Structure 1
Amino acid sequence: MASSGPRSYESFHAFDWIECLREPGSLPAPAECFKQAVGMKLETLEPCNATSTCIGSVVGVLGSRLRLRFDGSDIILSEELTRYLSINGNGINCISSPIRIPEFDVVCNCPVDYMHMALLGVARQLSRVWFETPSNCSYIKVYIETIDDILITIHPFVETSRHARKFSDKYPWKDNEWLHWVIHCSCVCLKPFLPKEYYDHYLLLVLSITDLLQSVISETTFNECEERLKRSVQLFKILCGIDEITYKVDLLLHLVD
């Protein structure tokens, strides 16, 4: 995890854990030593002043990610947001004003725009990985003409009145075209070509969006979608790489909220 490091160390050069451990000949503690659970306390960076630290309580755990509540405060931040607040120049200049509202959870109480996040965001991002990233094991650009042929034979559904445009011409697609692709066409077009583990991963997103767009949704369906989306985010790093864990991917965890 990135850190600002001790002030005396930071004043000379950027903090680096590997270099810091190398100087005294130390070894990093294994991951098994860091099993935080809800209710535990830990020291974390102060979001309003990245040069100081404070005590936080763990209020949620998802894999290696923690949600923290600062002691004596109603503010809840993720460990990642706290870390980013200490980095200058990454698009985050200050803490969001609504986070100071008592009993207001700025993450869970703000609705997610699924169109820009899931359709124009994650779905388009996955298509870039599959068709524009030769280094990834899911790269299937060689099949794009065949996928185009399958796609243009699929008749329009209720959500759209126009025939689908070729997938190779996806850049000017509108949001309803991405919806048509994700819900109705993509699984049929991709299944013969996308490696099974990548297809199964994508199916978690498709099934969740399909279920959440129903006019009536049961509590069981909500819970199933939440578990699918959690699994989808966990697999993103494994299948697509750490660089693909974007803000919109992370928002999948809050789509059910």
Structure 2
Amino acid sequence: METRVVCSSTLRRRARRGLDRILQQITNDYNTVLGENCNMDEEGEDTAYTVNMDTSVNEDMDRGSDEQMDFPQCNRPDSDPDPDSDSDSDLSNDVFEPSSLREKICNWALTFGISLVALSALLSILQFYHPDLPKDARTILKTDTRYTVQNKVGGQYHYFGIFSSIKRTLSQIIDSVTDCFTLKLQINIDGLPLFKSSGVQIWPILGLLVSVPMKEPVVIALFCGMNKPNSANEFLKDFVVELQQLEKGFDFNGKRLFLKVDSVICDAPARAFVKCIKPHNGYYGCDKCVQRGQYVNRRMTFPSNNSMLRTDESFACEAYEDHQNGPSPFHGSNIGMVTQFPLDYMHLVCLGVVRKLLLMWLRGPLTVRLSANVVNRMSEHMKKLRPDIPIEFARKPRSFREIDRWKATEFRQFLLYTGPVILSLYLESTTMYNNFMLLFSAISILINPDLALSYCQYAQTLLETFVKHFGEIYGNENIVYNVHGLIHLPLDVQQFGSLDRISAFPFENHLRKMKKLVRKPERPIAQIIRRLSEKRFAGTCTPPDQDSGLALGSLKKQHFDGPVPDGLDVQGQYGQLDTLHTHSVLTC
């Protein structure tokens, strides 16, 4: 039986109903205990105050407002003026220690994205049982309310700082690094629209240390506006100034450390913006070679495979007048403006070349287009593969009719796993299938850490052959920027390692999480700053286990599907590991 997929709205509705039941039960217990104490009043007056549970908790949770509301406060029956008096009430004996309860509430609120209004309402009720709990949700979450938002480069801007962002990671790994150690920082710059009904977008500068273990990227700077920043130099000024200082060295916990930028990961439009160069659809749009493009059939093509490569030295001297629009924003730092801007295979290969191939087979010229009958059979075969796809894959295969909704991970899965099998059964043209297999073989080599460096030159030959045959099959007018960029991927692999080391996948995942931090359209940058401050506090209040580097939690989703190697004594198989205090779920 196929497992039914539950949408996010249904999960939220179930969570709200569960919370309503819990709050109703707490209120009933509260009214019962409060009524018993009021009956012991000498005057016999009914002084109980009933919390109105019909004030629509659902509306508070959906509203997600940061505004503070005043909730009715209840007189606790266990407030005896005589500290030595005996009390029969069990309310004075808390089940959890206050500090432990605070952490649990904080982790729960951040994990499920509970709004401040809803959390404050819950705290006002829990205060009756745990008087040490604060009244305001911002107190328990340690929300940062002191920050500076500048009006610059056409929008609102806030700078978190490089050192401030990586300080927590440094404190965890400082004992394992040597003196004068050089930290390598990988940064990502990209835009992200926040809403479908408006043009508001954010442009964060994300950082990820690649020389030491780091769980996920951190936010170094954040811009929010109706358009992208109107000046790359002003947008990157604070970042470059601090980077130049850290490159000279800094002291941390008695050790001298250095920091340098390992690589800058961007898609083609963002890379052209931060480097101040011609866009990818310009005549001199290739940022790796000096080839002049050819405008064919309303598109810019780059048919040559042997053009002269660009160099960092010539770029720094602004020797490429047809390619550069002005001085580099990174001028003065040690960043190579050509070699340290690798081509991101997520956008170039998955969302670029693989998507282009599929669209040509589905909607391209009649000479290469597949029949509707073949496409339907391929789609049905893809659906039949769903039960056999391991849980390590984030998404299951779906129909080619939904190609416009496919994500980058689905294109990657088709290229490396399902595509060679499906196409071998339904692609009648041997030439087209062999051309696809050239791309499959080359990317399989470059993405494998054990094969990437050893067979890099062989992958170079495969990609050059793919681009040449691609032009013969689909026409030279289709050798656009993404297809041409394939021949430059092996050079980046030789410098940085396998393609996964210079991929935008971890940064795109973090952008998705940042988008969820915005709960209402007013002041989105302030909301992101506050939510990030709450997550930083939750991550530092309980340090991870020093021995394993991971705070182990509970194992969930037990299964018996394997595979398990013969002769291995296994106590149990589980699909999920919940780690404590880090709000993370590891899918096994």
TM-score by length of 2: 0.28
Aligned residue in 2 for 1:66? 307
Contact persistence 2:305–2:487 (CA under 8 A): no
Q: CA RMSD in A?
A: 3.4
Question: Who wins on radius of gyration, i.e. which is larger?
Answer: 2
Shift of 1:157: 3.3
Residue 442 of structure 2 aligns with an amino acid whose one-letter code is S
Matched-pair contact (CA < 8 Å) for 2:378–2:422: yes
Distance 1:254 1:158 in 2: 33
Match of 2:328 in 1: 97
Preserved contact between residue 463 and residue 486 of structure 2 (Cα < 8 Å): yes
CA pair 163-66 structure 1, distance change in 2 beyond 3 A: closer
Shift of 1:159: 4.2
Q: Distance in 2 between matches of 1:240 and 1:198?
A: 9
Question: Alpha-carbon deviation of 1:97?
Answer: 3.4
Structure 2: give runs of 5+ residues left out of the alignment. Answer: 1-276, 279-289, 291-302, 493-588
Partner of residue 216, structure 1 = 450
- Of 418, 424, 430, the residue aligned with 1:185 is 418
After superposition, give the CA deviation of every residue in 1:208-234 in whole Å (9 maximum; x if it has no partner): 222222232353321211111111112
1: CA distance, partners of 2:310 / 2:406? 41
Q: 1:68 to 1:223 in 2, by over 3 A?
A: closer
Instruction: Give the partner amino acid of 1:126.
Output: L
Query: Residue 118 of structure 1: CA displacement?
Result: 0.2
Say whether residues 1:145 and 2:379 are aligned partners: no
Paired with 1:168 and 1:174, the residues of 2 have a C-alpha distance of 14
What is the CA-CA distance between 1:241 and the residue it aligns to?
1.1
Change (3 A) 1:63 1:251: closer
Q: Hey, what does 1:14 align to over in structure 2?
A: none
Matches of 1:108 and 1:206, distance apart in 2? 25
* Corresponding residue SS for 2:418: helix
* 2:405 is aligned with 1:160: no
Select the residue among 407, 419, 442 that pairs with 1:174.
Answer: 407
Q: Note closer, same or farther for the CA distance 1:219–1:169 as it changes in structure 2 (3 Å cut).
A: same
C-alpha change, 1:171 and 1:63, in structure 2 (3 Å) is: closer
Decide whether aligned partners of structure 1 residues 163 and 220 sit closer, same or farther in structure 2, where only a CA change above 3 A counts: same
Change (3 A) 1:95 1:198: farther
For 2:336 and 2:475, how far apart are their aligned partners in 1?
A: 29
Q: The residue matched to 1:121 in structure 2 has which SS?
A: helix
Judged with a 3 Å threshold, the aligned counterparts in structure 2 of structure 1 residues 95 and 201 are, in CA distance, closer, same or farther, namely farther
The residue correspondences of 1:108-123 to structure 2 (distance < 5 A) are 108-123=339-354
In the alignment, the residues of structure 2 paired with residue 65 and residue 100 of structure 1 have an alpha-carbon distance, to the nearest angstrom, of 29
Give the 5 Å matches for 1:1-257: 65-67=306-308, 74-75=313-314, 85=322, 94=325, 97=328, 106-135=337-366, 137-142=367-372, 143-154=374-385, 155-157=388-390, 159-194=392-427, 195-217=429-451, 219-256=453-490, 257=492
Query: Is contact 2:383–2:397 with CA below 8 Å preserved after alignment?
Result: yes
Task: Give the % identical residues.
Answer: 24
Q: 1:117 is matched by which residue type in structure 2? A: L
Q: Distance in 2 between matches of 1:96 and 1:237?
A: 36
Q: Distance in 2 between matches of 1:216 and 1:93?
A: 37
* Deviation digits for residues 133-167 of structure 1 (CA, Å, limit 9, x no counterpart): 133x3211331000011111112135414431112
Alpha carbons of structure 1 residues 96 and 158: separation in structure 2 relative to 1, 3 Å: farther
The Cα of 1:178 is off from its aligned counterpart by 1.3
Corresponding letter in the other structure for 1:140: L
CA 1:200 to 1:107, structure 2 compared with 1: closer, same or farther past 3 Å? farther
Native 8 Å contact 2:363 2:369 kept in 1: yes
Distance 1:140 1:223 in 2: 34
> Which one-letter code corresponds to 2:478 in the other structure?
E
**Structure-1 separation of matches of 2:431 and 2:458:** 20
Residue 384 of structure 2 aligns to a residue whose secondary structure is coil
Structure 1: gaps (5+ residues): 1-46, 49-57, 77-81, 86-91
CA contact (8 A) 1:75 1:105 kept: no
